[in-house]
Every structure is written in C-alpha cells, then in structure tokens.
Amino acid sequence: MTEAVQTRVDGAVIEVTLDRPRANAIDAETSRELGRVFADFRDDPDLRVAILTGAGDRFFSAGWDLRAAAEGEEFEADYGEGGFGGFTELPERNKPVICAVNGLAVGGGFEITLAAELVVAAGHAEFFLPETGLGLIPDAGAVRLPRVLPPVVANEVLYAGRRMDAAEAMRWGLVNAVAQADELMDVARDLAGRIVSAAPLAVGAAMAVARLTGHLPLQEAFGTMRSGGLEAYEQMLASEDSDEGPRAFTEKREPAWKGR
C-alpha cells in the first residue's frame, strides 16, 4: 500500500482514502494502486461495501494529475484493470462503492462519483468538469452524465464547465445525502451498514441485473434477467439466504445471512 492510497477495514466495510496533497489528483500509478485495492475488495468474500473519500477538507479529487501530464503521462495511459480511479471499469464488481465527497470533485474526480453506486457529499462540496477548457473532453462524463441529467443541464456541465454545489447535485439525483463536513463519514458508514444488513447475494444480484439490463428495452430486460444465464441472479434464487429471509420475517427475528 502506498501513502497515496490508505485503507481501513471495519467489519465488512473497507474505507479507501485518497491522500495526494494538495488536490488528491490521480496519476496512472495511483490509479493502478486503487485498482488493486478495489480488485481485492471485489474478490474478498468478507468485504461487502467500499467507501472512497479524499484526505483533507478541500478536495475529494481534482481528477487526472495535470502535473504528471505535463511531465509526459499520456491522457490514455494505463490506469489499471479498474479504469481511472480503480473501480469505474472494474469487471464483475457486484459490490457497491460509496463515494464520500469531502470537497471539490473536479474532472475525473466528478467522473468517479458518477461511477459509484451511492454518493454522500459534504455541504461545501462542488462538482464540475473543466476539460473542454483544457482542450479535452471528459470521456466518462460525456458518456454517463447525459444518462442521468436532463440534456440541457448535462450540456452546460459538459460544454461550459457549470459547477454544481452539493445541494443542487442532490436535487438532480447525483447525490444521496448532504452532510455536515464533520459528519460526512458517519453518514457514509451508516449507509454502508444498512447495505451490510441486507443479504449479500441479493445485493450482488441487484447490481448485476442493473448493469446487464439497464440499456435494454423493458421486456428484453425481463427476459434477460429470467433467461437462466444471469449467474448472480440464479445464484441468489438457489441460495440458502433466499429461504432464510422469509423464514426470519415470519419468526420475527433478524436474518442470519450466510452468503450462500
């Protein structure tokens, strides 16, 4: 583990902190390290949820490290198996990531939050994409943002670098909750705890279904889910946990999930 990427495990939750003063910018080496952390998270049966945050209270992440770029790092560098930021393109990840946005989410930092399943933000956080002013485009932002924002809003963010504060981001559905800065991680941990209390195979199946059918027409999506070929969904249906949940409900007790 490098000083730039710090981890803390609390039960089934891993907290990942990006710590690269002054702006928590990400170069290719840091991205590959994040990718290794998130791949280990994906593959560890004891871990259920990851929380990603930035060190300090000013920047969540400034995105791509422009100093590294000035020193010759290519825009299309090798960012590792998980893509830029470690998890944004990580294959077969059926475990959720929560971004706890502690400050400015700029460029690639904003794009990372768009790839997370859940986002909580400090009240002073801001989100924006400055790439067109640098002669580039935000690749992931150009793909993801128009899918979650009204076209004219997405266009202003993409073309003109419009900034969104945490409250506006929440209104548009980009953020689950806005918290006081000193309560941000508590809010993220509470959210993670609620996910951990759910059945692990059910959470994984829900993620897999959403990922593999989200682009399909409704009837085709249902057909794909029920085709027998979606492994995570079939594993959930055949699991002991799918029997345990209804049994625990009728017996008025907390379920004892086994993950099988």
Q: Which residues are catalytic?
A: 111, 131
Cβ proximity of 5 and 16 under 8 Å: yes
Name, in order, each residue with C-beta under 8 angstroms of 180's C-beta and a sequence gap of 6 or more: 122, 123
Give the sign of the dihedral formed by CA 221, CA 35, CA 52, CA 205: positive
Alpha-carbon distance 129 to 118, whole Å? 19
What does the buried/exposed string (b/e) look like for 228-259 if buried means 16 or more CB atoms within 10 Å of the residue's CB?
A: eebebbebbeebebeeebeeeeeeeeebebee
Using DSSP's 3-state secondary structure scheme, residue 31 falls into helix
Alpha-carbon distance 53 to 6, whole Å? 10
Alpha-carbon distance 73 to 95, whole Å? 31
Alpha-carbon distance 80 to 93, whole Å? 15
Helix and strand numbers (H, E) in the chain are 11, 10
Alpha-carbon distance 223 to 39, whole Å? 30
Cβ proximity of 127 and 110 under 8 Å: yes
| Dihedral-angle region of residue 9 (phi above 0 means left; psi in -120 to 50 means alpha; beta otherwise) | beta
